[in-house]
Amino acid sequence: MMSSMSWVQALQEVEKAGQAWVIATVIGTQGSAPRESSSKMIITEEHSFDTIGGGQLEYAVCQKARAMLQDTASPSHLLENFPLAAKTNQCCGGTVSVLLEYFPEPATKITIFGMGHVATTLVNVLGNMQAKISWVDSRANLAQDHNLKGLPSNVTPFLYESMLEHIDHMSHNEIALVMTHDHALDYQLVEALLDRKDCRFIGLIGSKTKALRFKKRLVSASFSQAEIDSVHCPVGLNEIAGKKPFEIAISIAGQIIQITQTKNEAKKGSGLTWKEINNALSEEKAHI
């Protein structure tokens, strides 16, 4: 689906939404072409924004871009030449060179609700991950005790009157970890997170007894079995036992690493070398 949004506006939106995207840039034209060099458009799996000329050219570019988005083995950059008459059946008659650049989903985003002992240890462990972490609480005195200025660079603290306020500010596909000081608040947070319907993972600290009680309440609140099963309680790897804060934190961190490695494999590829670009441009000249 095409949107009227400019590529600059779209860039902000897709990053905020946590989506993977491809930017297509016209880097050269020969003869008659529908758009000039430096024209750009943004392509996601479902939408395209702005235009590099429309018609079969744009359709072919979108197809190439979506193949890059879907294939983890594809390169992160691709330079493609489009002789308009031969490849796209357009009557302009010229040739367009398009650079396609793939940008994966942003770094993993994690929200931790609660600044207790386990969470304090956990943020320091996760501070070594390539992840953006939001650390949320409502108790100003705890924030002062933790010296929030000394946190890892990927951790941002948030203080609210109610932690529930933060849920409206979360991005699509976030990992949410609920570990507050109050079981009633934990339940409210879990309900609100399920209502979003877009969390990548919901983890809840607590015992198996707490898990059973929460599940019964969620059934009464008319959540589906699939939604209820998506709440992981007790959160953490079963293989790591122990009740000390650092043991629980390591167990949770291990599960988060397991999730991100399984679902967010990095694309391999070093982009285009100058020789490859030069060869591609030489091929373009040969078509003129």
The model's pLDDT over 46-84, given as tens digits with 9 standing for 90+, comes to: 899 999 888 888 999 999 999 999 886 777 888 988 887
Give yes or no for residue 264 having a pLDDT over 80.
no
Smallest CA-to-CA distance from 179 within 207, 158, 159 is with 207
Domains and their CATH numbers in the chain: 2-105 (no CATH), 108-263 (3.40.50.720)
Give yes or no for residue 267 having a pLDDT over 50.
no
C-alpha–C-alpha distance, residues 188 and 184, integer Å:
6
Sequential DSSP letters for 68-83? HHH-TTS-SEEEEEEE
Residue 268: per-residue pLDDT:
44
Give yes or no for residue 183 having a pLDDT over 70.
yes
Confidence of residue 269 (pLDDT cuts 50, 70, 90): very low
Average pLDDT score, the chain: 85
C-alpha–C-alpha distance, residues 18 and 189, integer Å:
22
Q: Please state at what angle helix 117-126 crosses helix 245-263, rounded to 10 degrees.
A: 40
pLDDT tens-digit readout, 115-142: 999 999 999 999 888 788 999 999 888 7
CB-based burial label for 248 (10 Å; 0-12, 13-18, 19+): buried
Residue with more model confidence, 222 or 139: 222
